[in-house]
Amino acid sequence: MNYRMITYLTGQIMKLEAVFMLAPLLVCVLYGEGDYFSFITPAAILIAAGFILTVKKPLNKEMSAHDGFVTVAVAWIIISLFGALPFMLSGDIPNYIDAVFETISGFTTTGSTLLTDVEAMSRSNLFWRSFSHWLGGMGVLVFVLAVLPQSNAKSMYILRAEASGPKVGKLVSKMKSSARILYSIYIFLTLLETVLLCIGGMPLFDSLANSFATTGTGGFSVLNNSIAGYDSVYFEAVIAIFMLLSGINFNLFYFLIIRKFTDFYRNEEMKAYLGIIAVSITAIIINTYHLYGSLAKAFRFSSFQVISIITSTGFATADYIQWPEFSQCILLLLMFSGACAGSTGGGIKVYRVVLLFKVALKEIAHTLNPRSVVTLKMDGKPVEAGVVKGVVNYTVLYFFIFAFSLILISVDNMDLTTSVTAVITCFNNIGPGLGFVGPAGNFSGFSSFSKIILSFDMLLGRLEIFPILLLFRVGRR
């Protein structure tokens, strides 16, 4: 392994995180909160450590796929450990393990919280909390690829480790240009949503924080009642639309920009994603109509919640714990499927769900007719055997880790619904679950041990398992 190169890139990330902390520090100054050192101190440590790690450039800049995965895993753990310091130093979250849980939940765009009174936090920490969603949504190292000169081969390994989905491709010939295109689209969506929310009367601070959480599909809100606290159909509509867009593969937006409409419209994953949403909304409207007494209200709350859950954003406008079991079951299944590959959303990803469904149909056809030859296709193109194998292996590993995590946190003696959905929401980067971790609850009732396990689940889910697991194989081949 190229330890020197991994160390060098980690140092670059540390310096970059220090720069990112200037944003909440500016908020601290603008609102006259005075608690400057909660950001200055960790930023200074990050800069000093980053300078030490990068003062000498490595002579050998070659990186293997293993090196790229380990670099991403190490970087994400470090930015989470240091990103928790402002919460602890300011006293908003005095317990370090709790602060790390909240920070990892932010960077991984999970949105699970252990805070009982969000509005009691300082504005600067509220901003940092939401900003972490935005940084983690597209990927911190993808941002590095966009702004720092890197070799194309090295960049590809890093992008593969941090991007979501079973396969990653370049939009253009140069990986750096691809990263810049993705971030340009990401920034445009964020700014557009912020403007639209401001036009509707939402304060600028709230608009920016909610836009960070929406396009990053994170779900941290600045109000205790999440988006329900605004009680505005306009705000809910704007946020729902941008959650929906953020759950689509960002590559497809680029196809629209360059007028490759055929590539956009024939995308099977997007069609399945929109189809799942439409069917789920219709089913929940029928099931909850008696609770709201009107079709308009039933559509308003069911559509927002379905989009929020499948995109793994986790915003809430209704306490769906009060919905019938049928509707809760639909939301539970949406937590597993997640959004599209190549989006900022979490979950298994619709691409894998569709591909696994096709694998199952192929096996049935082969059982009925052993001589039949069925070629798996996505978007009209044959799927490589390696991709199919990777999806199957990922799914098996996914459910093994899910079961193991559930056993570990069961020592807290929470009810089964709470424990199961706590693991589901953390592993799939959703946010709220059912039971005590529903939209009206939080994760404060779990022990420090369980919070550590759930924190690792969030990292495993965001980085899609393999980068974190490869940390345990450092130095081995």
Distances (CA, A) of 386 to 389, 390, 394: 5, 6, 12
Give the C-alpha separation, 342 to 267, whole Å: 13
- Classified as helix, coil or strand, 458 is helix
CB atoms within 10 A of CB 431: 30
* Residue 220: predicted pLDDT: 94
- Cβ neighbors of 93 (< 8 A, separation 6 or more) are 84, 87, 99, 102, 115
Answer for the pair 155, 204: CB distance below 8 angstroms, yes or no: no
- pLDDT the model gives residue 60: 75
For 353-366, the DSSP string reads: HHHHHHHHHHHHHH
Q: Give the pLDDT of residue 114.
A: 94
In this predicted structure, what is the pLDDT of residue 378?
87
Over residues 398-418, the pLDDT tens digits come to 999 999 999 999 999 999 999
Mind giving me the DSSP string for 237-290? HHHHHHHHHHTS-HHHHHHHHTT-HHHHHT-HHHHHHHHHHHHHHHHHHHHHHH
- SS3 of 124, please? helix
Give CA torsion, residues 35, 39, 44, 50, to 10 deg: 180
pLDDT tens string 26-84 = 999 999 987 889 999 999 999 999 999 998 888 777 777 788 888 888 999 999 999 99
pLDDT recorded at residue 232: 96
3-state SS assignment for residue 348: coil
Token couple for 355? 């591909």
**Cβ–Cβ < 8 Å for 432, 112:** yes
Phi, psi (degrees; rounded to nearest 5) at 377: -130, 145
Contact 166, 390 (CB under 8 A): yes
> What tokens does 305 get?
């919640």
- Confidence (pLDDT) at 151: 47
220 and 111 Cβ atoms separated by less than 8 Å: yes
Residue (of 105, 140, 124, 120) closest to 31 by Cα position: 124
Identity (one letter) of the amino acid at 58? P
Count Cβ atoms within 10 A of the Cβ of residue 415 and give its class: 0-12 exposed, 13-18 middle, 19 or more buried.
exposed
> 3-class DSSP state for residue 455?
helix
Distance of CA 403 to the CA centre of its chain: 21
> Which regions of the chain are under pLDDT 50?
151-152, 475, 477
C-alpha separations of 477 from 66, 67, 133, 474 in Å:
9, 11, 34, 8
Residue type, 304: F
Model confidence, pTM: 0.93
Q: What angle do CA 310, 281, 307 make, to 5 degrees?
A: 30
Task: Calculate Rg over the CA atoms of the chain.
Answer: 22
| Residue linked to tokens 């800069």 | 47
Tokens of 258: 């360059």
Beta bridge partners of 382: 377
Q: Where are the beta strands (DSSP E) in 337-458?
A: 377-378, 381-382
Nearest in space to 313 (alpha carbons), one of 199, 432, 404: 432
Phi, psi of 378 (to 5 degrees): -130, 130
Residue 381 has what DSSP assignment?
E
